[in-house]
Chains A and B, each alone.
Chain A
Amino acid sequence: MVELSKSFGDIKAVDDLSFKVNRGNIYGLLGVNGSGKSSTIRLILNLISPDYGSILINGKKSSNGNLILRKKIGALIERPDFYLYLSANKNLQILLKYSGLPPDKKKIQETLEIVGLLKYQYKKIGIFSQGMKQRLGIAQAIIHDPDIIILDEPFNGLDPQGIVDIRNLVGRLSQEFRKTIILSSHMLKEIELISDRMLIMNEGRAVAEGKVEDLLGAYKARIRIRVSSVSDAINTLKKINYNKVKILNEREIICQVKEEEIPKVLRILLENRISVFNVIPERSLEDYFMSLV
């Protein structure tokens, strides 16, 4: 996407946004509600037209009339909406036809099997739970075997098991089927766990972009340290003017440090005869995200 901008009246939904997604990557779009993630996805899919800028897919300009490029994309956009009076199977048959493909029953059953809905294939969508609709939303996005899969808030309305299932499915689509995936979510942990690269958006603009580990590595995060004596550990660190430390519980302290400072902190503790039993990085995307937006 190159210098893309889109306004709705006075509101700038997307403001001079540029980013690149490499083939086979999982690219996370992260932002609070209203940050411009869904508008960005709608721009990629030509559901809305940009005021300025362009979208290139495999080097070719994507536009409303470029249907060949759209064959390469599968998408779940915000809510998984379907024809509620039709069965899951019939909905997928219709969507395959819209993609210019025959309503291959075997393909439909295989896809429903992947998302765990095969036994409900002849049930009307009207009786589906939100989680089931979400899975079917992913099924319709992958059924025509697209190269690029765009998932907008795929974890919405899912229970913890559903979130794990979708996370695993997305990982499988990337690793096993070599799909390029653009994933938007406000669920920071999921983006952190799944994505190779990510773009953090706020008020329609990109505020950070890069590999997830690079972005988080540069960020001053927290570590939780299990020590033999929390009071000795706190006093030792405060003596050397290391004040960003506090007691978490009777066995653990928590320090805010940069990644490269961690060995130094541990060395000081050990030199002062304080045993270290466990070090758990507490760096979180949430902290990083909040520092940016």
Chain B
Amino acid sequence: MILTLVHIELEKLFRSKRSYIGLLAIVLIILVIEGGIMLQGEALIDLISENLQDVFILQGNLLNGYLISFLSINALWLHVPILVVIVTADLISGEAGSGTIRLILSRPVSRSKLILAKFITAIIYTTLLVLLLAVLSLFLGILFFGKGDIFVIYGSINILQEEILPGRFIMAFSFGVLGMWLVASLSFVFSALAENSLSPILLTMSIIILFTVVSSFEIGIFEDLKPYLFTTHMSNWRYFFSYKLEWAKIMQSGLILVAHIVLFISLTLFIFGKKDITS
């Protein structure tokens, strides 16, 4: 039954124009970024490397597809959740708002299976969104700017050779997907409570922005809170761009994200299971 439900949810999702907003936005943003770099890329490289040139002799294709992809992800990572939430927050509350939830639940459909099917659908959509970001930024980057090593300033200066970068990008994007699943699961909690799409979108984004702001301040109390905020762990895809992979840290962050997802989905199941459908 759950597969049938997932199939129905996917069919509804991809027949709705709203679902293509995020995908289209990713395409446009990547095109704008890559187009802009194509026009003024050298200036960008000069800006990034001006301090390094005093210490290092930089040779080769610095402005390459991998660097552009890395910069694109870095710039977009806080905005991708908005594109995720526009769709995932609507999956439950949208049905409540339009009244179609009555149609579904008056049929022999288990509430918990419905939520799980919707979450699997959200996972598929989110993965697709990140995959599009990954493929497009890498593909267009390599197509227009070729390949090469990249240097990433993250804790220290990390110079990563071209050969290892495809694997690093795959791992970073996979970790990034996990973070976006968490965003989707958080939006589900609010979506189960709400009767319209707007409230869960705003609530989810407010929490993400609040947590991100808190984790960006390097002062006492905020510093202490940082490890407990899921946003801190969401941005740890950057670990994969350290010269040496710190698997203990990666695993810890990954597990914290998974634990949050389990918690949020359990909460959604509980709320929706008890909810009176009055819309």
Contact = CB atoms under 8 A, between A and B. Distances in A.
Interface string B252-279: 0000000000000000000001101110
A99 B11 contact: no
A103 B218 CA distance: 58
Interface in A89-139: 90, 94-95, 97-100
A48 B276 contact: yes
B8 A42 contact: no
Q: Which of B12, B100, B103, B274 has most chain A Cβ within 10 Å?
A: B103
A215 B273 CA distance: 40
Interface of A: 8, 42, 45-49, 64-65, 67-68, 70-71, 73-75, 77-79, 81-86, 90, 94-95, 97-100, 140, 144
A98 B104 contact: yes
Nearest to A85: B16
Nearest to A84: B98
Contacts of B274: 49
B186 to A, nearest CB: 25
Given A47-B277, A48-B277, A100 B102 contact: no
B96 to A, nearest CB: 10
Contacts of B105: 45-47
A68 to B, nearest CB: 7
B110 A75 contact: no
Given A79-B99, A81-B99, A94 B8 contact: yes
B106 A100 contact: no
17 contacts: A42-B276, A47-B105, A47-B277, A47-B278, A48-B276, A64-B111, A67-B108, A70-B108, A75-B106, A79-B99, A84-B98, A86-B12, A90-B15, A97-B4, A97-B7, A98-B103, A140-B103
B17 A67 contact: no
B108 A99 contact: yes
Contact of B103 (A84, A95, A144): A95
Interface residues of B, number: 28
B66 to A, nearest CB: 40
Contacts of A95: 103, 107
A86 B103 CA distance: 15
Contacts of A8: 276, 278
Contacts of B7: 97
Contact of A83 (B1, B100, B107, B111): B100
B1 A47 contact: no
A149 to B, nearest CB: 11
Contacts of B213: none
Interface of B: 1, 4-5, 7-8, 11-12, 15-17, 98-100, 102-111, 273-274, 276-278
Q: Which of B99, B104, B273 has most chain A Cβ within 10 Å?
A: B99
Nearest to B277: A47
Contacts of B106: 45, 47, 70, 73-75, 77
A144 B110 CA distance: 17
B100 A42 contact: no
Given A48-B277, A97-B4, A140-B103, A85 B110 contact: no
B103 A82 contact: yes
Main SS of the interface on chain A? loop
Nearest to A6: B276
Contacts of B5: 98
Contacts of B111: 64
B107 A99 contact: yes
Contacts of B100: 81-83
A77 B279 CA distance: 10
Contacts of A74: 106
Given A67-B108, A71-B108, A75-B106, A100 B277 contact: no
B258 to A, nearest CB: 28
Given A70-B108, A100-B1, A48 B278 contact: yes
A94 B106 CA distance: 14
A81 B274 CA distance: 23
Given A46-B105, A64-B111, A83-B100, 13 more contacts: A42-B277, A47-B106, A64-B273, A73-B106, A79-B99, A83-B15, A83-B98, A94-B8, A95-B107, A98-B107, A99-B108, A100-B1, A100-B4
| Chain A to chain B: the 7 pairs with minimum beta-carbon distance, closest first | A81-B99, A67-B108, A47-B277, A48-B276, A98-B107, A75-B106, A70-B108
A8 B276 CA distance: 10
Nearest to B99: A81
A103 to B, nearest CB: 10
Contacts of A85: 15-17
B277 A94 contact: no
Given A45-B105, A94-B12, A140-B103, A67 B110 contact: yes
Q: Which of A47, A67, A73, A75 has most chain B Cβ within 10 Å?
A: A47
B276 A81 contact: no
Contacts of B107: 70, 95, 98-99, 144
A123 B8 CA distance: 20
Contact of B109 (A48, A67, A79, A90): A67
A47 B17 CA distance: 29
B51 to A, nearest CB: 53
Given A65-B110, A67-B109, A86-B15, A81 B102 contact: yes
